[in-house]
Structure 1
Amino acid sequence: MTGPAQRPLLFLDVDGPLIPFGGEPQDAPTFAAAPGSAGADAHPLLARLNPEHGRRLAALPCEVVWATTWMADANECVAPRIGLPELPVMSWPEPSGTDDEDERLGLHWKTRALVARAAGRPFVWVDDEITGADRIWVAAHHRGHALLHRVDPRRGLTDADYLALDSWLRELS
């Protein structure tokens, strides 16, 4: 049995997986803010956050890490609306000489940093911008198990996504 330090990481993007976007605005469901959380006026799309995401993410056997351009704002604006505690936040490196090469390869700008942060630990990356180039690069450069799970940004995380994540994470133990 592995301890908490050995739990897989789940790198979670906000825009797309948690806040659906694209498609017709009237097609996106909206939800009331939890008491004491930031109002929808804090960000116009926060009302699209389904409060059930918090419970479902917390039930997964992993350590959730914000992997989003929201950075610390994810803990201030998103976490309270879905009932999550403060989570670790991925810090992104400054642009470097590899950025041009990554762009030519079709590699997402987050990929290298997530693999470095995982440091061999199993991880799941939940994002709406994952491509085949990211999958190939992670397979070649990460020595642990990894699941790159692409979410449809028009729908966000669905029941099927949670089932796939839970199944993969439980297979590791």
Structure 2
Amino acid sequence: MPGPVPLLFLDVDGPLIPFGSPQPYPTYETDRSEPGGGASHPLLPRLDPAHGPRLSALPCELVWATTWAADANDCIAPRLGLPELAVVDWPETSATEEQDARNGLHWKTRTLVEWAAGRAFAWVDDEISDADRAWVSVWHAGRALLRRVDARTGLGDADYRVLDEWLRGARGTV
């Protein structure tokens, strides 16, 4: 009997809202309004609404793994046509995390592995490093894909192909 579908931990800034390139970015209009004044965020027009259907089509449980925290459900999800998603709550910075940072480990890594609790997961972020991949391979009992996305371009066709293939292969595994 297959286990639960894999998780997809999703960062916003970089993967969904590109930044850092000197060229102008395309902007997108949406007829969806965000509660809480999300439309006033200067980078939200860069959020391509086509990400919503593409993310929804992936065989996984989507989870916000972003500093936007619950604001992702108020500001990002409506523009993408996504339902309210689970949100990873980030702990206060600890001495362990400060040491991790000195060793090249991303501050999100430990929390995501704990949150997954052995369940297969993919993580999409623009700051993933080889140190994160190595740490996850040792400390996470399930399958994991850490997909670094170029913040200047955001999630693209190749990223979606890799995610879809990996998630289909990981479906039902822990």
Q: Tell me the TM-score normalized by structure 1.
A: 0.94
Q: Which amino acid aligns with 1:52?
A: A
Native 8 Å contact 2:28 2:47 kept in 1? yes
In structure 1, how many angstroms separate the alpha carbons of the residues matched to 2:38 and 2:96?
A: 38
Find the partner of 1:65 among 56, 63, 66. Answer: 63
Q: Cα distance, 1:99 vs. partner?
A: 1.9
User: Any residues of structure 2 matched to 1:1-173 within 5 Å, and which?
Assistant: 1-2=1-2, 6-26=4-24, 28-37=25-34, 41-173=39-171
Q: Cα distance, 1:88 vs. partner?
A: 0.4
SS at match of 1:125: strand
Q: Which has the higher contact order (CA 8 A, sep 6+)?
A: 2
List structure 1 segments (4+ residues) > 6 angstroms apart after TM superposition.
none
Calculate the aligned-residue CA RMSD, in Å: 1.4
Q: Tell me the TM-score normalized by structure 2.
A: 0.93
Q: Which amino acid aligns with 1:35?
A: R
In structure 1, how many angstroms separate the alpha carbons of the residues matched to 2:47 and 2:115?
A: 27
Identity of aligned residues (%): 64
Instruction: Structure 1: give runs of 5+ residues left out of the alignment.
Output: none
Q: Which amino acid aligns with 1:109?
A: W
Number of matched pairs: 170
Native 8 Å contact 2:38 2:74 kept in 1? no
In structure 2, how many angstroms separate the alpha carbons of the residues matched to 1:136 and 1:40?
A: 37
SS at match of 2:87: coil
Q: Cα distance, 1:40 vs. partner?
A: 7.0
Q: C-alpha offsets along residues 45-97 of structure 1, whole Å, 9 cap, x if unaligned?
A: 00000001010001000000000000010000000001101000000111112
Instruction: Structure 2: give runs of 5+ residues left out of the alignment.
Output: none
Change (3 A) 1:161 1:68: same
